[in-house]
Structure 1
Amino acid sequence: MSKLGAHLKSLGITFAEFGERIGKDKSTVSRICAGKVNVDRETAAAIFRETGGAITPNDLFNIPATEEAA
């Protein structure tokens, strides 16, 4: 399960409910969670905003965070 899918499940938010919040239908949210669609910049920003920053654009593209140099 994707980080977004796990996040929504942990909060008890359905794909339909979250889709309403970001302006997408439930099938699109399902495909985003399954990694079957590319997320555009606007959708990534909406997901970031609606999750309070818990899901970042990097999470949507499976880009690992890097450690900052000391």
Structure 2
Amino acid sequence: MSRPLLPLKAGAIVFTMLWTAWMMWWSGSFSSAHVIILGLCGAAVGYLWYRAMRWQFERMGMLPQPENRSK
């Protein structure tokens, strides 16, 4: 993993876990199908959150631009 993106990736994992746990608690149903569906949705939401925050941080100049990251 790239060092500048490590905190962002860790934040995305924490966000995914918290979002999934909140949705499970809010729905009140703990059937296996419901847990699997919310787990998949949580993974999608976490990935989208990561991509959106990475794009925003690159725009703000807080992360190196993609072409500079490989050097």
TM-score with structure 2 setting the length: 0.30
TM-score with structure 1 setting the length: 0.30
Q: Which has the higher contact order (CA 8 A, sep 6+)?
A: 2
Write 1 or 2 for the structure with the bigger share of helix: 2
